[in-house]
Chain A
């Protein structure tokens, strides 16, 4: 009996303590959705028009492709494909993508405390020969998504160690031979411009100019004999989301290390032109406490290196110029209308102002090189339509994020109205019950024989 009395009193006490308590305001999590994508490289080769068979086989390449879609559900869906056929700009991982499955991974989570994928790279056996046009070294993809405690954490990395373009340039022989002097003079002009862009440059002496002309002539002869068209050293592209406290960061990085063109053995080390490119980055940071997303983007910075054919700078194999738009235009202008016409668009970034919806993108570096090769008007020394060549889109990254204010149920001012009537009501009910039971007990006693 004593035990039951204690239990009853404890229950009543707890009930009494709970009644005047205020209900804690319930926070409703914020809602958001975001998308991010990155590419290390998009490559298409109109130059292959000189070889219709190859042109029909080679579909172009998109290397180092990553996507990540996230929502506050929470959900994350990631994709990492190291090697894909050329993907248009609007491609999304919603449907099947023409990517090589041996270097592709996907992961997705829906709901809290889930995980999918792992941190191990999935790599295709190297080298990968794409239609005898591009030889890829190690290509790997990795995708991992998780949602510990509802906080999203996902990484998608795609890497391509190196891609070598195995273009057969012998088709150029006739064009080069027919107007070799013109081509050599043009290239000499470009190289001279680069040399003159060196800080404290000393103008070339007549003998140096002759040496340069001779060296370029030799290089063109080498091309006729089967020089390498180009090689690309790719970095890892990635799309990721991290959650730390009230901050959700969605980031994409598109990375290409270097592009070498027109080399004798390895264009990345002996190419006439080497373009080094830093990674482009795009990022959004959502602050869950303030309900504001801010974006940022770092452009890829390109450095043009031209082979120092005449040892203009003693001890250096290359002359380097950090590219600025005006420098670029000046340098490449002499090539316009020639077989070697090349245009190079430097990275641009766009970031919308902080708010509820932000897009950040870094376009990377776009190169359209050697436009006269495989041009629709035919490969001639003078480029008419200039729609052939090698088209490279390097290091692009995009992020978009839309969030809505964290919703909270209205928080009341402090509760200062103890519900004393509740206690009195309970007291009355209990007292009535006690009286009733007492009455019953009395009746029982009276009816005892």
Chain B
């Protein structure tokens, strides 16, 4: 008490100080709210993007671009459905930070959905709609469906292979997981553990059927 009396001698000074500190407190509170809301904001933003992507995905232009193999970065490429995880999301082309703001992106250079080879898709585990938030709960035998404008490709999560479980955790720079393959695979990648980019969680499924869309 004596301390404040010395520092802030007059009543007027104390009032000004109190008002200033209250204002600063309000600013900090607003900032705290913003930080607390930001993860949810990215989810809302991703959901909004998904709405736009779904419309574009079914459009005539989207079909033409897919048919001609000229889907641009950030444009919708395929619809990913994982019934066991209640995932239904549009996957965009590319895995840049901007592209992945939509939730999930197709690794450029890997085959298009349904094509022979190892199709790679990365998805957020936290924030940005977190389509792969529960990827660790995927089990061998679960189905993953990729729907393109022309076909529906069904993949089945493979049993453990190469001495590791499926899904499995690997290094953050383990690009072998999306390396070319003579088999028709689908490889899903996301960060691990949740909220960290230290490692990657990977799940692989094999193509078991294709039917016209």
Check B213 for interface membership: any CB of A closer than 8 A: no
Give the residues from 1 to 54 in chain A that come closer than 8 angstroms, CB to CB, to chain B. Answer: 1, 4-5, 8-9, 12-13, 16, 20-22
A9 touches B31 (CB 8 A): yes
Answer yes or no: A449 CB below 8 A from chain B CBs. yes
Indicate if B122 sits at the interface (CB-CB under 8 A). Answer: yes
- Decide if B39 touches A423 in the complex (CB within 8 Å): yes
Choice from A416, A422, A428, A449 contacting B132 with Cβ under 8 Å: A416
Q: Is A200 an interface residue (CB 8 A)?
A: no
Q: Which of B34, B174, B190 has the most CB of A within 10 A?
A: B34
Q: Given A437-B24, A444-B4, is A416 in contact with B15 using a C-beta cutoff of 8 Å?
A: no
Instruction: Kindly identify which residue among B25, B28, B34, B190 contacts A417, using a CB–CB cutoff of 8 Å.
Output: B190
User: Are B29 and A434 in contact, with the CB atoms below 8 A?
Assistant: yes
Q: Is B63 an interface residue (CB 8 A)?
A: no
* Interface SS, A side: helix
* Contact in complex: A441, B175 (CB < 8 Å): no
A residues near B15, Cβ cutoff 8 Å: 445, 448
- Identify the closest chain B residue to A419 (Cβ): B195
* Minimal Cβ-Cβ distance residue in A for B199: A417
Chain B hits for A448, CB < 8 A? 11, 14-15, 18
A244 at the interface (CB under 8 A from B): no
A 381-440 contacts with B by CB, 8 A: 410-424, 426-431, 433-438, 440
When distances are taken between beta carbons in the complex, the residues of chain A under 8 Å from B33 are: 427
Q: What distance in Å separates the Cβ of A434 from its nearest Cβ neighbour in chain B?
A: 4
Which residues of B in the span 152-178 have a Cβ within 8 Å of any Cβ on A? 172-175, 177-178
Q: How far is the CA of A418 from the CA of B97 in the complex (A)?
A: 11
Shortest CB distance B54–A (Å): 21
Is the pair B125, A417 in contact by a Cβ cutoff of 8 Å?
Answer: yes
Question: Can you give 14 A-B contacts (C-beta < 8 A)?
Answer: A1-B23, A5-B30, A20-B97, A412-B173, A413-B122, A414-B105, A416-B122, A417-B125, A418-B125, A420-B39, A420-B195, A426-B35, A434-B27, A444-B17
Q: What residue in chain A is nearest B21 (Cβ atoms)?
A: A441
CB nearest neighbor in A for B173: A410
CB of B38 within 8 A of CB of A417, answer no
A298 to chain B, nearest CB (A): 39
Contacts known (A12-B31, A420-B126); A444 close to B14, Cβ less than 8 A: yes
- List the B side residues contacting A442 at CB < 8 Å: 18
Q: Does B68 contact A (CB under 8 A)?
A: no
Write out the residue numbers on chain B whose beta carbons fall within 8 Å of the beta carbon of A416.
100, 122-125, 132, 189-191, 197
Inter-chain CA distance A411–B107, complex, in Å, is: 14
Residues of A within 8 A of B (CB): 1, 4-5, 8-9, 12-13, 16, 20-22, 410-424, 426-431, 433-438, 440-445, 447-449
Chain A nearest CB, measured from B201 CB (Å): 9
Which residues of the partner chain B approach A435 to less than 8 Å between Cβ atoms? 25
Q: A421-B195, A437-B28, A445-B18 are in contact. Are A411 and B175 (CB under 8 A)?
A: yes
What B residues does A415 contact at CB under 8 A? 97, 191, 197
Of the candidates B4, B38, B132, B174, which one forms a contact with A16 in the assembled complex, judged by CB atoms under 8 Å apart?
A: B38
New A-B contacts (6) at CB < 8 Å, excluding given A9-B30, A20-B127, A419-B197: A13-B34, A417-B125, A420-B126, A426-B32, A445-B18, A448-B14
Interface centre among A411, A413, A419 (most CB of B within 10 A): A413
Which A residues are CB-close (under 8 A) to B190? 416-417
* In the complex, B196 has a CB within 8 A of chain A: yes
User: Do residues B124 and A418 form an inter-chain contact, with CB atoms below 8 A?
Assistant: yes
Chain B contacts of A5 at CB under 8 A?
Answer: 27, 30
The answer to whether A427 touches B32 (Cβ under 8 A) is yes
In the bound assembly, the distance between CA atoms of A447 and B31 in angstroms comes to 29
Does B110 count as interface, using CB distance less than 8 angstroms?
no
In the bound assembly, the distance between CA atoms of A431 and B197 in angstroms comes to 27
Q: Please indicate the chain B residues that have their CB under 8 angstroms from the CB of A443 in the complex.
A: 4
In this complex, what residue of B is CB-closest to A422? B195
Residue in B closest to A21 when the chains form the complex, CB atoms: B97
On whether the beta carbons of B34 and A9 are closer than 8 Å, the reply is yes
Contact of B197 with A438 in the complex, beta carbons under 8 Å: no
Which residue of chain B has its CB nearest to the CB of A25?
B173
The interface residues of chain B lying within 8 Å CB-to-CB of A22 are: 97, 197
**Interchain CB contact under 8 A, B39 and A433:** no
B197 — which chain A residues lie within 8 A by C-beta?
22, 412, 415-417, 419
Taking a contact as CB atoms closer than 8 A, the residue among B8, B34, B189 that contacts A413 in the complex is: B189
